[in-house]
Structure 1
Amino acid sequence: MNQVRGFRASYDKFVELNTEIIEISADPTPVQKAWVASMKEDGSDEDGQVPFPVASDFWPHGEVIKAFDVFNEATGKAKRSVFIIDGEGIIRWSNVYTDSIPASGELLHEIENL
């Protein structure tokens, strides 16, 4: 059986901490829909699901990721990064990942420490 990974695996914990997850990339919507569909469990015939919004920053290309200064001009994509933003819109924590992907445990720890 395929193990649920990433933010999906810890989604209930994020909800308990009154946290919303929004995944944003510079990929066009059809690419994102295909990615979400690929998140299905082994043995399932149903398309995959993620319990949080997946947003496209494709047009105008990279407007949001440029505003957060994580646009990679060479690739036209976002640098893998995470921002924890409070209810007033203030960035309380951020990290740009170069060799890894964000881990749920790390983010939950940072949220709990705010």
Structure 2
Amino acid sequence: MKIGEYAPDFVLKDQNGEEFRLGDFRGKKVLLSFHPLAWTGICEKQMKALEENHERFESLNVVPVGISVDPVPSKKAWAEHIGLKKLRILSDFWPHGAVAKLYGLFREKEGFSERANVLIDEEGKVAFFKVYPIKEVPDLDEIFKLLEGD
């Protein structure tokens, strides 16, 4: 994906089984925070950081969501376990990793996505795209700097 390209639309279910359609969020920015697997330490830190900054994102007209290949029941149990109250975490379970593949982020060998942040602007175009080392929690400050520098 390149900055300025239209982000592919998709529909996934969140941890509560509710549909999330990217195209429904035109007029808002959307942060897609891809993480490899639920129930892992770095992914937990990544999702908790989004939860802890939820109000800050909202104040900047951003809808943050997590995405991984885990099935909905696992996402629900994990969200409850780590105390997510506001953050929606999406299940890219079936077809397995289809959204990660759409965004060029699927790791075929391991069967899960890269760790990445993709910020989509109000028009549905990619404004920020970064893949992080798999063992590193993404830096939200670089996203806030971009958003607050507008």
TM-score (norm 2): 0.63
Residues 42-66 of structure 1, C-alpha deviations (whole Å, 9 max, x = no match): xxxxxx2231211101011111110
Give the letter for the 1:57 counterpart. Answer: D
Q: Which runs of 5+ in 1 are unaligned?
A: 40-47
Structure 1 segments, 4+ long, off by >6 Å, are: none
Q: Which moved more, 1:79-88 or 1:48-57?
A: 48-57
Q: 1:109 is matched by which residue type in structure 2?
A: K
Greater shift in the superposed pair: 99-108 or 17-26: 99-108
How far 1:87 moved relative to its partner? 1.3
> TM-score, length-normalised on structure 1?
0.81
Larger relative CO (CA 8 A, sep 6+): 1 or 2? 2
Does residue 22 (structure 1) correspond to residue 57 (structure 2)? The answer is: no
- In the alignment, the residues of structure 2 paired with residue 35 and residue 107 of structure 1 have an alpha-carbon distance, to the nearest angstrom, of 25
* Matched residue SS, 1:21: strand
For 1:1-114, what aligned pairs fall within 5 Å after superposition?
5-39=48-82, 48-98=83-133, 99-114=135-150
| Preserved contact between residue 71 and residue 79 of structure 1 (Cα < 8 Å) | yes
User: In the alignment, is the contact (CA less than 8 A) between 1:25 and 1:77 conserved in 2?
Assistant: yes
% identity of equivalent residues:
33
Contact 1:6 1:103 (8 Å CA) reproduced: no
Structure 1 residue 20: deviation in Å?
0.5
Q: Distance in 1 between matches of 2:104 and 2:116?
A: 10
Q: Which runs of 5+ in 2 are unaligned?
A: 1-47
Q: Rg bigger for which structure?
A: 1
